[in-house]
Structure 1
């Protein structure tokens, strides 16, 4: 006992010494960082357009910098080299996702494809998506849906008879209807459903204080953010429960799309019944994947198509060149078919250039490192969140000539594509976490744009230049709708 009492002062002295003179840590070389404030870190510097703010910061601190959003270290990549290191060289290290408050509530505790953490579950659902939901064969099987909805939109424009027409609204309706029919078997039109989708996308673009400053998690509750997320989640859940019940009860009956094949809920329910490879697809998993298809399939598809049309209306010579190309291929027929699309290089160049200037998700979906790694000479710690500023890379003057100009011609004699193999153009990401629905989105965009230009002469309604203001959020929309007058060409 006496020996123990004598040792107490020694232990206290040792504790004080180690407090003032901590044991040396291994040398770390973090990326350059801007000064940060207590508690909030660099949050105050992001403003309403984080992709633009981070581009400006990268000019001062370099193409690979470390910022702090609250207590969370966030690596920001703004160059081809840094993006390639993250999405190719060290793709496995950066293949996971952070657990963010709002996506977790909306996607059934991140049981979807986009936000689920890297691991066996993600591998299984990604495999289902790539091989069965969004394979080239499956995408091609829904050509009749794309054609039907495209023709319905063309008829609406025709009926406007040259009067002012809200083209943006029609594009939203078209993409929603295509995804509804492909995923759910039929359309769900009406203001209520449209409003639900709008609220869902708005929430995904909201900043959750609790995700970055745990001690201030109560702010999300006080602001009503958590309540709104839970309300939208509950409404979508009730809607999807009804959809799944319809499909289960229709087992053995001709599907909503008739003899033209299964919809994606049918495919997922089939996996659930067959218990493929011992992987049991639960009901909440099916719902999470369907919500994923809506968020990725409607919003980004509509956005990229809308921006492409905006740029064509602002650049008459590009519009004229695209019209010349589609008229030559169309040869007076009633429409441009999907078989014709590979014969339209300028059309593809227009869409690539629109995706370059207006990357739908400017910062892509956040990643998270799963282990310590060396990146371009810097030490990156496990648990660091990662943002790839695809928007900034697509406007890098060291990569692109006249990067702020709309010039589709730059892609005519270039192998650069948007499929994740060229790191100067990353609208859909790359590597393991690249978007599996690229072909689905592009088939819609190319078919609609080709026929719109083939069938109509479009003119802006109103005086002055088009307002190119952007909205804030995870997806960058055009702030104001496109109002046009359309004259049928034949």
Structure 2
């Protein structure tokens, strides 16, 4: 192997550090003289140049590390990520100040190299900076997809997909008297993805062989969410951007290109079958009608880019989070069998065993709604009613699973409806068992969402009459 390139890289890196360190020390010393002494405490353990990056790169998850720091330094502290200072808040009282009094200060988003390459140069409004473009696309997305009226119009789509899932799960169980073993992360991922494909793309996706089907979508979106949680060298040390030694930027470019290929396939089909797409009311068709006007107002992006970027935002926001939430709910229930039993008793009481759960039944399922809320708290399991007065919609700052302030998640109502109906139907339609007496592994992985790191395998057995699954 030719070692010369590696030696040269090492020497150049060392030279850069030697040149930058004195400059950094000078600037840092100067800043200390002029900075307000009331700034939050800076956590110890930071290195020159790198700051606290080494502390966040160990085996423990970053949010656990930051929580431990908060225990030591208090509810508000600061760390350094390369050249950037980061504020860490670990108190709902301070979070309330951030999202109310100081909301305008905190409503922007960092412009990282990874996001740039995967978001059409920040055309995805959910990942872009706060401003007129963000406000316009947020307004359009609310009107065309996420208003209460539009969600009610889309009810038949997610009801159809949930019914199809119930039928598929039942058929998988029929030939196995001991119950079918299934990996539920995959099951929930397919459900949420199928729903969002129909909502965003309508029915044209099945005609398009170029996009590779839902399995390819799931693969690309999983990589997208993983990459969003990664800091690359250019993000934290811009002057060493040529030293992207772990290839994070290149992986982001590849993921962005693959995502664009899939979205371009949908867009091509919508243009080819424009009349059919207009009738099916897909979100992409709605965006195509207004994108030209948006492009004229914001010429940094053309109409096709705006359409694809906004559809990409909806796909990522709608599919990944629902699947992750359902997975964690089932983990908690399997580790708390009394809660699982009580949930099924509530379903039997209000629904019976002669029909499936409908959307109109959900308001009566108080305990199941409490289970979802408690899971969203990401607290140790124990689905009690002491938090019943706290909602998850960004008004109570003790519980912010969907964020708060100007940047609060647009899809709260849609996500909760899909989660509630899917969970209720699953618990009503099947007895769910662990494969062993061991506690379900609760290890999580780090990314844009905190996903379960290991598979969730369970055994299902139908608990309703066969005709209800048909």
| Corresponding residue for residue 479 of structure 1 | 453
> Is 1:185 the equivalent of 2:202?
yes
| Corresponding residue for residue 21 of structure 2 | none
Distance 1:180 1:146 in 2: 11
| Corresponding residue for residue 232 of structure 1 | 255
> Is 1:301 the equivalent of 2:322?
yes
**Secondary structure class of the residue paired with 1:422:** coil
What stretches of structure 1 of length at least 5 have no aligned partner?
Answer: 1-19, 358-402
| Corresponding residue for residue 39 of structure 1 | 49
Q: CA deviation at 1:409?
A: 2.5
**Secondary structure class of the residue paired with 1:93:** helix
| Counterpart pick for 2:290 among 271, 278, 302 | 271
C-alpha change, 1:428 and 1:152, in structure 2 (3 Å) is same
Q: CA deviation at 1:82?
A: 1.2
Q: CA deviation at 1:464?
A: 1.6
C-alpha change, 1:60 and 1:156, in structure 2 (3 Å) is same
| Counterpart pick for 1:176 among 184, 188, 193 | 193
**Secondary structure class of the residue paired with 2:461:** strand
After superposition, residues 410-489 of structure 1 pair within 5 angstroms as 410-411=386-387, 414-489=388-463
| Corresponding residue for residue 234 of structure 2 | 210
Q: CA deviation at 1:21?
A: 10
Contact 2:295–2:306 (Cα < 8 Å) also in 1: no
| Counterpart pick for 2:265 among 242, 247, 253 | 242
**Secondary structure class of the residue paired with 1:122:** helix
The 10-residue stretch of structure 1 (172-181 or 243-252) with the greater mean CA deviation from structure 2 = 243-252
Q: CA deviation at 1:167?
A: 2.0
Residues 441-477 of structure 1 show CA distances to partners (whole Å, capped at 9, x for unaligned) of: 1111100100111111111113422111111222111
Contact 1:352–1:408 (Cα < 8 Å) also in 2: no
**Secondary structure class of the residue paired with 1:459:** strand
C-alpha change, 1:252 and 1:112, in structure 2 (3 Å) is same
Residues 25-55 of structure 1 show CA distances to partners (whole Å, capped at 9, x for unaligned) of: 4744210111221011111122341110000
C-alpha change, 1:22 and 1:210, in structure 2 (3 Å) is closer
Q: How many residues align?
A: 419
> Is 1:356 the equivalent of 2:373?
no
Distance 1:423 1:266 in 2: 37
Distance 2:54 2:306 in 1: 36
Distance 1:115 1:163 in 2: 40
C-alpha change, 1:481 and 1:22, in structure 2 (3 Å) is closer
Structure number with higher helix proportion: 2
C-alpha change, 1:30 and 1:488, in structure 2 (3 Å) is same
**Secondary structure class of the residue paired with 1:481:** coil
| Corresponding residue for residue 167 of structure 2 | 155
Residues 249-275 of structure 1 show CA distances to partners (whole Å, capped at 9, x for unaligned) of: 2222365xxx6x411101101112566
After superposition, residues 121-132 of structure 1 pair within 5 angstroms as 121-132=133-144
**Secondary structure class of the residue paired with 2:86:** strand
Residues 410-453 of structure 1 show CA distances to partners (whole Å, capped at 9, x for unaligned) of: 33xx3201100010101110000111011111111100100111
| Corresponding residue for residue 17 of structure 2 | none
| Corresponding residue for residue 194 of structure 1 | 218
Q: CA deviation at 1:330?
A: 1.0
Q: CA RMSD in A?
A: 2.2
| Counterpart pick for 1:287 among 301, 308, 333 | 308
Distance 2:141 2:370 in 1: 28
Distance 1:154 1:79 in 2: 41
Distance 1:145 1:454 in 2: 20
**Secondary structure class of the residue paired with 1:219:** coil
Q: CA deviation at 1:205?
A: 2.1
> Is 1:404 the equivalent of 2:428?
no
> Is 1:330 the equivalent of 2:351?
yes
Contact 2:192–2:319 (Cα < 8 Å) also in 1: yes
